[in-house]
Structure 1
Amino acid sequence: MLNNQYDVDIQGVSMSYGKSTVLDNIDLQIKQGELLTLLGPSGCGKSTTLNIIAGFLQPDQGELLIKGKKMNNVPSYKRDLGMVFQAYSLFPHMTVYDNLAFGLKLRKIDKKVIAEKIDRALGLVRMKGLEDRYPRELSGGQRQRVAIARALVVEPTLLLLDEPLSNLDAKLRVELRAEIKRMQKDVGVTTVFVTHDQDEALSMSDRIVVMNGGKIEQIGTPTEIYQKPATEFVYRFIGNSNCIEGTVASIENELFNIEINKGWKIQLPKESIIGQVQIGVNDVVRLYIRPENILIGNDAKGKNHEITHLAKIVQMNYLGAAWEIEVLVEGEYLLKITCP
């Protein structure tokens, strides 16, 4: 039985193309009113998952429920969805108004109600006054806003966004992702967003599903995904990190004494371990350190149990909001540091 707090329930879904497994027995529940992002590298299964929800693909096994109703083999047009694609997919021969009215006319809605719905949708995407323009007369960002408005105007149960910002320039992407988040909260529609861009996922999502090789690596809030990764893949994929190999020299009171080459030693608590793995003495381990968690200064004395080492600055890159500094530690380990 589907919990009534979920709009979508994916149960044991698998799918293959020939001998290639695209989705491997995944389970996923999407809550009412949330913006959930499917995030991962190319080929991880995120777009396939979205297309199964949309009804464009049918899984080889498993069940899909929307609002408690089984949707396997139910055609897309009967699923009450709004879909926004990467390529806008607007009708070039229709004005903005007619593009938005198209789906409403198919539903045989009264003309006056259509006008009211379009006016509200254009207000949400801040496109009022451009109703009579054709897609060719709009910028890329404006066309994407119209595509979103067209999906919202029919008041769908689910809004599905398939990498809708990937064709836009960097500044416009930042502006539009903030607009999408605002619109989604204003309307309250359950939204599934597909992207390979981790900045988009972290800034927009209520929850993130990190996928890899057809499996779900972790589901959590942006803070949980970034600060408490469940697997090594998640740590490496989300954000930047430095990686150093070492050997477990000893374990005392759940403290791991890690020995790096040339006598560099680090002591870490048990909760620092990523994933459900057993680590013993003499095991080779990888240490991941976020660039923003390394401090740089000319004081060789650490505070509050900080680990200090002499390092040489080899390169400085100005990123606008911060500096990325590369340092060489012990003449061997090149680490990246991010600081204001």
Structure 2
Amino acid sequence: MQQIINDVEIRGAYKKFGSNVVLGGVDLDVKQGELLTLLGPSGCGKTTTLNLIAGFIDADQGELFIKGKRMNGVPPYKRDLGMVFQTYSLFPHMTVYENLEFGLKLHKVSKADCARRIKNALETVKMTGLEERYPREMSGGQRQRVAIARALVVQPKLLLLDEPLSNLDAKLRQELRVEIKRLQKEVGVTTIFVTHDQEEALSMSDRIIVMDKGKVEQAGTPTEIYANPRSEFVFNFIGKSNCLHGSIASIDTGMITVQLENGEKLLVEAGNVMGEDRSCSIGDSVKLYIRPEKVAIGSIFDPEYDPHTVHISQMNYLGSAWEILASFQGSVLQVQCPDIEPSWMIGSEVKVGWKPSDVMLIKR
């Protein structure tokens, strides 16, 4: 069996700023050559974790290893990494060429090798021909490409990206997502990407670490994180969701029946229980979560769907899909569908349905 090599390992990292615990015992691994994203809301500890890896701060407790070497107390300039910030951090008085040359000079790279590396780096980020421009003469997207090239040109063992796209407009952000993913695979450098943008994380990452309140909530591939969340926090933070309240009415082999507060009953697969305590008993108060895109709407349903009647309260056109808001037993149910029927209007009675396998359950 081939041994999996981890380029970064963090074991039991604790960090406090004053009385505020920002990392509460973080463990994580970054595999060789992967793009790993640290994802979570503001204050969850993702940037602190990145700064710990970079060497800008030290953990109060715990250990950090890069390429198998213990890095506690090792200064940033001895860690052989490249870093890209959201504010670009280019030297304003230097040209593109000089910005890229700066790090190479610090590494005592020969003039000929400098020229070769800079040429290759600019070709990689599609910035050839702009060597003599200053940062003020370029767009935000161009400046960010230069910042990435400057980080790559020193051929780091590790590339750290701290919300590098947050200052860009939506279209440019989407373009650079594709570019960063292409570059990372082309160069093969192990990359850690910090963001609070779930779409960014899902579209770019090999794996995602979801963080909240200084702890790792879940680690997995984008598909695992979205389709099989292990906690209520992860389900709510990644994507949209519908939440219904009820109590367990019966438990059969492989299936749980939940009675909603109005008496209507829903089916849930027994394997879809989230949270630390996954044991269920009749009478337990629970919450049910269903993704809007998993809710079918119309008049004809597959036999495995669990159908219910709703009334349309709002219809929003999103371009690639329609978002239908419908009243369902005192709750607002979100439905996402590719098209609508001509007869639908506000107040229309329609049927919705979903598979029991698409409903997640957590005990209240």
What band does the TM-score fall into relative to the shorter chain?
over 0.9
Distance apart, 1:254 and its partner CA? 3.8
1:159-174 equivalences under 5 Å are 159-174=159-174
Q: Name the counterpart of 1:9.
A: 9
* Mapped contact 1:4–1:67 kept (Cα < 8 A): no
Q: Take 1:321 and 1:255, find their aligned partners in 2: how far apart are those partners?
A: 34
SS in 1 for 2:308: coil
Q: Take 1:276 and 1:337, find their aligned partners in 2: how far apart are those partners?
A: 29
SS in 2 for 1:210: strand
TM-score by length of 1: 0.97
In structure 1, the gaps of 5 or more residues are none
**Aligned partner of 2:336: which letter?**
T
Q: Take 1:129 and 1:140, find their aligned partners in 2: how far apart are those partners?
A: 17
1:6-155 equivalences under 5 Å are 6-155=6-155
Distance apart, 1:220 and its partner CA? 0.1
Distance apart, 1:230 and its partner CA? 1.0
In structure 2, the gaps of 5 or more residues are 339-364
Q: Name the counterpart of 1:281.
A: 282
Distance apart, 1:238 and its partner CA? 0.4
SS in 2 for 1:218: strand
**Aligned partner of 2:202: which letter?**
L
- CA-to-aligned-CA distance 1:121-172 (integer Å, 9 cap, x gap): 0011000010010000000000000000000000000000000000000000
Moved more, 285-294 or 249-258: 249-258
SS in 1 for 2:87: coil
Q: Take 2:309 and 2:109, find their aligned partners in 1: how far apart are those partners?
A: 72
Q: Name the counterpart of 2:196.
A: 196
- CA-to-aligned-CA distance 1:27-77 (integer Å, 9 cap, x gap): 111000000000000000000000000000000001000011110000000
- Equivalenced residues, count: 335
- CA-to-aligned-CA distance 1:299-318 (integer Å, 9 cap, x gap): 4xx42221111111111111
**Aligned partner of 1:305: which letter?**
E
Q: CA RMSD in A?
A: 1.0
Q: Take 1:85 and 1:295, find their aligned partners in 2: how far apart are those partners?
A: 42
Q: Name the counterpart of 1:305.
A: 304
* Mapped contact 1:45–1:211 kept (Cα < 8 A): yes
Q: Take 1:205 and 1:239, find their aligned partners in 2: how far apart are those partners?
A: 16
Q: Take 1:184 and 1:253, find their aligned partners in 2: how far apart are those partners?
A: 46
SS in 2 for 1:288: strand
Q: Name the counterpart of 2:265.
A: 265
Give 1:339's match in structure 2, choosing from 329, 337, 340: 337
Percent identity of paired positions between Structure 1 and Structure 2: 61
Q: Name the counterpart of 2:326.
A: 327
Q: Name the counterpart of 2:352.
A: none
Q: Take 2:246 and 2:4, find their aligned partners in 1: how far apart are those partners?
A: 48
Distance apart, 1:4 and its partner CA? 6.3
* Mapped contact 1:210–1:216 kept (Cα < 8 A): yes
Distance apart, 1:204 and its partner CA? 0.2
* Mapped contact 1:37–1:207 kept (Cα < 8 A): yes
Q: Take 1:320 and 1:83, find their aligned partners in 2: how far apart are those partners?
A: 36
Q: Does 1:224 align with 2:224?
A: yes
Q: Take 1:154 and 1:305, find their aligned partners in 2: how far apart are those partners?
A: 56
Distance apart, 1:212 and its partner CA? 0.4
Q: Take 1:178 and 1:207, find their aligned partners in 2: how far apart are those partners?
A: 16
Q: Take 1:110 and 1:267, find their aligned partners in 2: how far apart are those partners?
A: 68
Q: Take 1:183 and 1:67, find their aligned partners in 2: how far apart are those partners?
A: 21
Distance apart, 1:232 and its partner CA? 1.0
- CA-to-aligned-CA distance 1:222-275 (integer Å, 9 cap, x gap): 000000011111011100000000111121224211001333101212111113
Moved more, 261-270 or 226-235: 261-270
**Aligned partner of 1:67: which letter?**
K
SS in 2 for 1:309: strand
* Mapped contact 1:313–1:326 kept (Cα < 8 A): yes
* Mapped contact 1:45–1:213 kept (Cα < 8 A): yes
Q: Structure 1: which 4+ aligned runs deviate by more than 3 Å? A: none
**Aligned partner of 1:19: which letter?**
S
Q: Take 1:305 and 1:122, find their aligned partners in 2: how far apart are those partners?
A: 54
SS in 2 for 1:262: coil
**Aligned partner of 1:28: which letter?**
L
Q: Take 2:69 and 2:337, find their aligned partners in 1: how far apart are those partners?
A: 50
